[in-house]
Amino acid sequence: MAVFQMGSHTHAISMTLYRDNRMKVVNELQRAHNFGADSKPVILLQGGDNISHYDTDVDYVFRQESYFTYLFGVTEPGCYGTVEIKTGRATLYVPRLPEEYAVWMGPLLGLEDFKKKYEVDTVHYVDEISKRLSEVEPSVLLLLSGPNSDSGSVAKPAYFKGIESFVADSDILFPVIAECRVIKSPAEIEVLRYVARVSSDAHKAVMKAMKPGMHEYQAEAEFLRHSYAVGGCRHVSYTCICGAGTNSAILHYGHAGSPNDCAIQDGAMCLFDMGANYGGYAADITCSFPANGKFTADQRLVYNAVLAARDAVCGAAREGVSWVDMHLLANRVMLEELRKGQLLQGDVDEMMEAGLNAIFQPHGLGHFLGLDVHDVGGYLPGCPERSSKAGVNRLRTARTLKAGMYLTIEPGCYFIEPLLNKAYADPSLSKFLVKENLDRFRNFGGVRIEDDVLITQTGIENFTLVPRTVDEIEAWMAK
């Protein structure tokens, strides 16, 4: 049995995972479309290519395009793949590399080597694709083209020289294959369970290593080291966010202008959002904790407000529940805790109606997770549309939950200067703010708690295994 594995101590991903994905897509296409008894529709996908650093001859470390991974599990660049709808027959097309490449790249795989490695039915060279497809005589080539509702970018349809001689369709495939990715198979769930465990252990290693005076990037480096050295995860799923102090209120901190480069002060609140990637599958976990391992009263207040929101959603989420309702539940619980802590005053339902929830948590509750950290399927045709209401309009999906969906639950509470100033200046919001108490949080930063969870018929299964309560965090960091 062929597998992807980064050493005997890491998870083995069987190539049957991708075969099963192909059959799932084939079956759904046959169910959704009447192709006709004599038709021969064929899926055609183009994999990713090497990308160089601007005009240099140095490439970025290659990472395969996600839909191509989903159907084929191929790790090499420059490939194409076809799946015949009527039979499920899979063909891989690989680059024909000059023999001299072996000097620089080691032994080159032959066609039979690729066939065994990926357990497809046939393998040909890319320069033969037009000829070989002509032999198949497809009635239509189903190409991938559709918008990503998070980035706004459109999936690139496959192209090769001579494709103009074939009938092609760019509408049928996308909604079907994207929806197939939303519900995870048992084999995919085990990969996700593994990468969540590796990421959890890496977060725990960071918490153990943390000392005031460290730089944020040193925490990032410890996460990367553990994920790769112990878990075999060569990639992370997104740029690590390692904000301490006021930086913990910067939602996408760690970007090129602020590359996790600040020194961490004694007593600062750390918000570390990091997730490893294994075999293309992502984790996305956030841990928040004080740099010195001991919560102050104010840190405990804010942290427990966010934890209460997380706990409420974890207790309520299950098949048949609206994700919008889960977001509103988390916001309502957090605002109530802040009211109890005398940072807010008044009626929580009125706060929600006025949009105060979006001042303290301007992002959505969470998102789909899988081959992309913000995985596909949020706003496909036939799904609920994005709300225009403050806070809820940031949700990456408004769907009703189904068993097999895999999402993050990530409530947060942040003291973001522009948003606080906006709330103070707006009479409909300022009436809820206890200014004399809130002012001491101006330089607090923020707290986010993010777990990776599988939706079941009766609840959730939480794959994130890190200290979560104040007592658990203090005990772990004191060891």
Q: Which residues contact 86 (CB under 8 A, 6 or more apart)?
A: 35, 39, 40, 41
Task: Report residue 381 as tokens.
Answer: 């045709």
User: Contact, 260 vs 240, CB < 8 A?
Assistant: yes
**Residue 57 is a catalytic residue:** yes
The one catalytic residue in 363, 396, 399, 468 is 363
**Residue 450 is a catalytic residue:** yes
What helix, strand, coil percent values describe the chain, rounded to 5? 40, 15, 45
The one catalytic residue in 414, 451, 452, 468 is 414
The one catalytic residue in 55, 57, 137, 436 is 57
User: Contact, 430 vs 423, CB < 8 A?
Assistant: yes
The one catalytic residue in 119, 179, 220, 284 is 284
Query: How far apart, in whole angstroms, are the C-alpha atoms of residue 125 and residue 160?
Result: 12
**Residue 33 is a catalytic residue:** no
The one catalytic residue in 367, 396, 399, 468 is 367
The one catalytic residue in 179, 273, 372, 452 is 273
The one catalytic residue in 448, 451, 452, 468 is 448
Taking the alpha carbons of 340, 343, 344, 345 in that order, is the dihedral positive or negative? positive
The one catalytic residue in 65, 216, 337, 450 is 450
**Residue 410 is a catalytic residue:** yes
Query: How far apart, in whole angstroms, are the C-alpha atoms of residue 219 and residue 210?
Result: 7
Which of 300, 328, 298, 324 is CA-nearest to residue 312?
328
**Residue 379 is a catalytic residue:** no
Task: Report residue 465 as tokens.
Answer: 């295994």
**Residue 375 is a catalytic residue:** no
**Residue 298 is a catalytic residue:** no
The one catalytic residue in 76, 220, 410, 451 is 410
The one catalytic residue in 252, 255, 440, 442 is 252
**Residue 471 is a catalytic residue:** no
Task: Report residue 181 as tokens.
Answer: 């990715």
Ranges of H-type helices in 48-185: 66-72, 101-105, 111-118, 129-136, 173-182
The one catalytic residue in 11, 181, 310, 374 is 374
Task: Report residue 338 as tokens.
Answer: 């802040």
List, by residue number, the catalytic residues: 57, 252, 273, 284, 363, 367, 374, 410, 414, 448, 450
